[in-house]
Structure 1
Amino acid sequence: MEASNNTTLSRCAELTYNTEDLLVVAIYILIGVSGLFGNVLVIYVILHSPKMKTVTNMYIFNLALSDLIFLLHIAMITTTMIVKQWIFGEAVCKIFFMTNAITVFSSALTLTSLSVDRYIAVCKPVISQKIRQPRKAAIVIMCVWFVSLLLSMPIILYAQRKENSGTYSCQVDWPDPTEIPAYIIYIFILGFAVPFCFISILYTSVIIHMKRAGPANRQRSTEQRKNHRKVTFLVLAIILVYVICWLPYWTFQIIIAVLDLYTASFSLPLFKVTTVLTFANSMINPVLYAFLSENFRQAFKEVFRSRCICRERIRYFLQTGDRNEVELDSTRRPGHVSNQTEAVSNEEDKTEGPQDGQTDNGGVYTGP
């Protein structure tokens, strides 16, 4: 018992925090709460607004879903930072790394699909109506998740909880440590570099095509061309923010893996900063939708407006319900109320006497 108490006290003594850790935890919580709210709102308006059910928005829905799952990891990261160990068990450790890897791949592949969709919509207007259909977009999205799962298999196999001096950690335990750089480069190439190359080529073609007003482009109405520019600019902004937030992370990961700088003094602070940036990307996306898309902005306003209207209606029904309950109660007990009222009326007659213009109600309660 005494040994147990000493162990507990020693662990409590280890739970010391510096300003850097507290700041990182606070930033994580801010990003997590804001990002979860924003992405849930995006998913809600796409599901509940008929005008938002477009092919492009199906990909945005999938991106918001990936961001939502990715942001859920913040709860486990911040808890581990606070208690200084992994407390969620072996199964959750595997789920943590599995969903993390899958969402990394799914986000990159979804952005690639968005770029392909924009390329077809702008550069191939003749076949656009045949190819850009909700059913085909749904098939593409399912393929994105399936491919993401396959690409994540190595990390799923080796993720596990490990014990060291009475504390637990969740990590990827590679059979051979020399495989770590190879796997990081593998994720970088398939989860960032290759999609980014495809996106760059497709968007370069889109921008060139939009600058050249060809015959097919001139046949479109001014409103159609304007809508295409707006959607294209929105998707381009999403991609640019993704690159800005993820490129520092992958650059840092490759440098420390190839040069074996894991024990360097700057490794941990840089890891925290670059990781926070990746989560910030998932928080920023809903903000981009709100500022750069008129349709999303109006849909968000309708959600908040409907919530205010519902709140007012509930308050109104509660108030009117109270009145109706009093009136209903009075009708349910006419004899009791009638006797009380008649007694009060007789008492008033005795004290004050009849007044001019007063009529007899026969002892029936009519309210004040």
Structure 2
Amino acid sequence: MDYSDDLLDYNYSYEFNYSFHEETVCKHEPTCLNEPLCVILVVVIAAIFLLGFCGNALVIWISGFKMKKTVNTTWYMSLAVSDFVFCAFLPFTIANMAMEEWIFGRLMCKFASSVMFLNMFSSIFLLVVISIDRCVSVLFPVWAQNHRTVKKASVVVLICWLLAIAMSLPSAVFREVSTHVGRTICYNNYTSYQHGHEIVALSRFLVGFIVPFVVILVCYSIIVLKLRSNRVIKSSKPFKVMSALVAAFFLCWLPYHVSILLELNHQNYDHRILIVGLKLGFSTAAANSILNPVLYVFMGNDFKQKFKSSMLSKMENAMAEEGRTTSRYLSRTSSMDGRASTHI
């Protein structure tokens, strides 16, 4: 069996050499609050929950109810919904990490894990779609101006969510709840499926990291080369924004996937190191839900101008300006200048 201390496989999975019993013989006493590192991680994830929940809720409200619906606002709102739901389920992880046991039952064990993986993959797929959309807009401006519609963007978003559902199904299939010596855990049970653990971990690594990262990197590399060759922009801000987007994706998700791959050969590593590595990997992955609204909204406009305005005006101006800049680029007007940086 493959057992996990945490909700989403972000903890070291180990094997027990004894049987589980429904009747407990003693009460489990959590030690997390007595360990500085565990306390720090709980506080960090709680902060991610609060900031990500509020930040993405604000993006959803502005892009969904305060602005005209466009392709750009469709991307923004879909990405924000994905990150919002991810953050909404973080309290289950926080409670599980602090109490060091699962108290929410078998159904929620399967549901919470599946929903969180659903949003993890949907967020990643949407980042890829945004990258491809911007790349196509730069390479084929006339075609993009004629074919970029809200209806088509909505269909693409639906496809992303369907693919994310498919990738999240293993959590519903393999997650189980068992109790031993007073401790109830939500874990992965791969005993009936040979190489099930390896297949799930490797598929998540390839589909959820390697392929998306390569696509994003290629798209933004093409954008940089195209803009430089056409001398469309005068400032270096677009390159900084693009570098931040690629770096954020890479740095947030790499620790998680590396830890999961190391866990496949857990017998070769110190158990405590794997536990710490997997918890840190989860924390950095969760932090991506905060960085997305920051990088895609707040960095899309001049900071000084946004600083003088209200919080709502900041976000509305940033997203509206990107839409105006995209239109200017697609129409190839001569008015393009350094403000085109918000296109990126």
1:247 is aligned to: 254
1:280 aligns with 2:287: yes
- Compute the TM-score of the two structures, normalised by the length of structure 2: 0.74
Specify the code of the residue in structure 2 equivalent to 1:25.
V
CA distance in 1, matches of 2:238, 2:77: 15
Among candidates 26, 50, 53, match of residue 36 of structure 1: 53
- Deviation readout 1:38-83 (Å, 9 max, x if unpaired): 11111111113325x3312321221111111112232011111222
CA contact (8 A) 1:111 1:239 kept: no
Q: 2:34 aligns with which of 17, 29, 43?
A: 17
Deviation larger for 17-26 or 227-236 = 227-236
Cα gap change, 1:16/1:226 in structure 2, threshold over 3 Å: closer, same or farther? Answer: closer
| Shift in alpha-carbon separation, 1:233–1:44, aligned structure 2, 3 A | farther
**Take 1:45 and 1:154, find their aligned partners in 2: how far apart are those partners?**
34
Partner residue in 2 for 1:49: 66
Query: Residue in 1 aligned with 2:263?
Result: 256
Q: What is the match of residue 359 of structure 1?
A: none
Question: Is 252-261 or 56-65 further displaced after alignment?
Answer: 252-261
Which residue is equivalent to 1:85?
Answer: 101
Distance 1:133 1:283 in 2: 28
Tell me how far 1:232 sits from its aligned partner: 8.0
Work out whether 1:122 is the aligned partner of 2:134: no
The residue aligned with 1:111 is: 127
- The correspondence for 2:165, drawn from 149, 154, 165, is 149
**Pair 64,110 (structure 1): closer, same or farther in 2 beyond 3 Å:** same
AA of the residue aligned to 1:195: P
Does the 8 Å contact 1:110/1:144 carry over to 2?
yes
Give 3-state SS (helix, strand or coil) of 1:99's partner: helix
Q: What is the Cα deviation at residue 302 of structure 1?
A: 4.4
> 5+ residue gaps in structure 1?
1-5, 219-224, 307-368
CA drift of 1:285 comes to: 2.2
- Are the counterparts in 1 of residues 30 and 98 from structure 2 also a CA contact under 8 Å? no
Corresponding residue for residue 203 of structure 1: 220
Asked whether the equivalents of residues 112 and 199 of structure 1 are also in contact (C-alpha less than 8 Å), the reply is yes
Q: Give the distance between the partners of 1:300 and 1:259, measured in 2 at CA.
A: 52
Whether the 8 Å CA contact 1:93–1:161 is kept in 2: the answer is yes
Q: Describe the superposition over 1:114-171 as per-residue Cα deviations: whole angstroms up to 9, x where unpaired.
A: 1110011111012011221111000000010011111222222111222222321112
2:82 aligned with 1:75? no
| 2:251 partner SS | helix
Asked if structure 1 preserves the Cα contact closer than 8 Å seen for 2:249 and 2:288, the reply is: yes
Larger radius of gyration: 1
User: Per the alignment, in what secondary structure is the counterpart of residue 271 of structure 2?
Assistant: coil
Distance across 2 between alignment mates of 1:32 and 1:70: 9
Q: Distance in 1 between the 2:113 and 2:33 partners? A: 27
Matched pairs, number: 289
Distance 1:295 1:181, change over 3 A: same
Alignment of 1:160-171 (within 5 A): 160-171=176-187
Q: What SS is found at the alignment partner of 1:87? A: coil
Larger proportion of helix: 1
Matched-pair contact (CA < 8 Å) for 1:97–1:156: yes
Q: For 1:75 and 1:117, how far apart are their aligned partners in 2?
A: 34
Q: Which residue of 2 aligns with 1:316?
A: none
Residues 236 and 123 from structure 1, CA distance in 2 versus in 1: closer, same or farther, beyond 3 angstroms? farther
Task: Name 1:173's counterpart in structure 2.
Answer: 189
Taking only the aligned residue pairs, the percentage that are identical comes to: 25
Between the aligned partners of 2:30 and 2:221, the Cα distance in structure 1 is: 57
The one-letter code sitting in structure 1 at the alignment partner of 2:163 is V
Instruction: Label 1:180 to 1:164 Cα distance change in 2 as closer, same or farther (>3 A).
Output: same
Aligned AA for 1:139?
A: V
1:62 aligned residue (72, 78, 99): 78
Shift of 1:305: 7.6
Name the aligned partner's letter for residue 51 of structure 2. S
Q: Distance in 2 between matches of 1:290 and 1:50?
A: 14
After superposition, the CA RMSD in angstroms is 3.1
The CA deviation at 1:236 is 5.4
**CA separation in 2, counterparts of 1:261 and 1:31?**
32
Q: Deviations over 1:216-257 (max 9, x none)?
A: xx8xxxxxx559997786465334211111012112221231
Tell me which amino acid in the other structure corresponds to 2:274.
S
Q: Which residue of 1 aligns with 2:336?
A: none
> Tell me, which stretches of 5 or more residues in structure 2 are unaligned?
1-23, 315-344
Q: Which stretch of the first structure deviates more once superposed, 69-78 or 253-262?
A: 253-262
Residue type of the alignment partner of 1:243 = F
Deviations 1:154-207 (A, max 9, x none): 222111222222321112211246421221011111111111222222222222
Indicate yes or no: 2:243 matched with 1:187: no
148-157 or 287-296: bigger deviation: 287-296
